[in-house]
Amino acid sequence: MSEITVAASRPYKIHLGSGLFPELGGRLSALRRGCGVVIVSGPKVWRLYGESVERALISSGFSVLHFLHCDGEDAKTIGVYEDLMNFLCDHRIERSDLLLALGGGVTGDLCGFAAATYLRGVDYVQLPTTLLAMVDSSVGGKTALNLPGGKNQLGAFYQPLAVFADTDTLSTLPREQLLSGLGEVVKYALLKDVALFAALEQGQNPCHSAIIERCVELKKGIVQRDELDRGERQLLNLGHSFGHAVEKCSDYSIPHGIAVAIGMAMIARGANRQGLFSAGDLSRLLRLLERLGLPTDCEYDRAALLAAVEADKKRSGENITLILPRSIGHCERRSVPFAALEDYLN
Ligand SMILES: NC(=O)c1ccc[n+]([C@@H]2O[C@H](COP(=O)([O-])OP(=O)(O)OC[C@H]3O[C@@H](n4cnc5c(N)ncnc54)[C@H](O)[C@@H]3O)[C@@H](O)[C@H]2O)c1
Ligand SMILES: [Zn+2]
């Protein structure tokens, strides 16, 4: 088991390893004793892990309730959020009580936003059960809901009290969701870590704690330097401008991290055409993605993708901030005129 401290505006520990959930009661008692706990989860994850988490908490003296949301992005809506607020209010949940997000990024984003706003803020703990949530969404305190006009348009920066990532839960993750997490793992490697990239090339199991831990360390560093996403944290959007466009064109049938893999391949090809990223590095990236089973292209045409990028929230005025790979392990932010975007998407 490893422990990683995130020195954000409010510092907290990320506990990562096998067999964490059965010990959760004791570990949580070290942070907060005998309070009320509301577990927020989705139906699938609850069926798999709800009972063991609930049992572990009750045996350590917590009184436990649970709120189940629907599966998928539909859970990140104001309607579900309102139901959750009313549930907390009806059960007289107080500021000293705790919310627990048991699930993937959807659960974490919904529960985190609820925690940020209910009674102007109650503590919450992340219990990520997808690879994507372990390496990305449970770290860094971004919480969000979707609006009809766009994904993650409503949200708050609100750091959790702690994160407990039990890697045993990855054994039940469907292949598509595993691939989605892998897209983000490759992103970290291309962005910041040539050694991680090489480890993946050599066939290291990406669900191995050491790989997850490395990704968490990389994200932690970025969050500590730029918690509020004003500069360096934007690097984490590598592959996301085109990735979001692919997600949108697929009507969200392509999972986030898989779309990010496609977006990364697209922007890497674009950077190569612009003379910014070598042919050797480009072929290493494409080979790695393919070896892992990730797609490097999509069926949507250029006009549709450009229209989708145009609507993306990262666009400011006539410019768009692109994250461009320069070599494996090194990327840069560049603001380019929207009109020049097609040069990157041939
Ligand atoms: N807050 C952030 O910083 C941040 C960062 C990246 C992504 N996100 C958000 O995260 C969301 C995507 O998260 P996700 O990829 O985890 O998807 P998700 O939460 O929808 O989970 C994917 C699917 O896997 C199932 N599942 C979860 N854990 C399982 C397990 N252990 N075994 C079997 N099935 C399991 C879920 O029920 C769901 O059907 C998006 O909404 C995205 O916007 C947030
Ligand atoms: Zn992402």
123 and 223: one domain?
A: no
Provide the number of structural domains found in the chain. 2
Q: In the prediction, which pLDDT does 318 show?
A: 81
CA distance 148 to 73: 12
Domain carrying residue 317: 175-344
Residue located nearest, by CA, to atom 16 of ligand 1: 104
Q: In the prediction, which pLDDT does 313 show?
A: 55
Start-to-end C-alpha separation, the chain: 46
164 and 231: one domain?
A: no
Provide block-wise average pLDDT over 10 residues at a time, the chain (346 residues). 96 98 97 95 98 97 98 97 98 98 98 98 98 98 93 96 98 98 98 98 94 98 97 97 94 95 98 97 98 96 90 70 97 92 85
CA distance 276 to 167: 38
Joined tokens for residue 145: 């809901």
pTM of the model: 0.97
Please identify, among 172, 199, 223, the residue that sits at the C-terminal boundary of a domain: 172
Position in ligand 1 atom list of the atom nearest CA 170: 31
Q: In the prediction, which pLDDT does 314 show?
A: 54
Q: In the prediction, which pLDDT does 46 show?
A: 98
Joined tokens for residue 199: 């480890």
321 and 179: one domain?
A: yes
Ligand 1 binding pocket mutation candidate from 130, 158, 187, 233 (most atoms within 8 A of CB): 130
CA distance 316 to 328: 28
Q: In the prediction, which pLDDT does 312 show?
A: 66
CA distance 83 to 85: 6
Q: In the prediction, which pLDDT does 12 show?
A: 98
Q: How many CB atoms lie within 10 A of CB 339?
A: 10
Q: In the prediction, which pLDDT does 149 show?
A: 83
Joined tokens for residue 146: 């979707």
Please compute Rg for the chain using Cα positions.
20
- SS3 per-residue string spanning 29-87: HCCCCCCEEEEEECHHHHHHHHHHHHHHHHCCCCEEEEEECCCCHHHCCHHHHHHHHHH
Residue 186's CATH number = 1.20.1090.10
Residue 107's CATH number = 3.40.50.1970
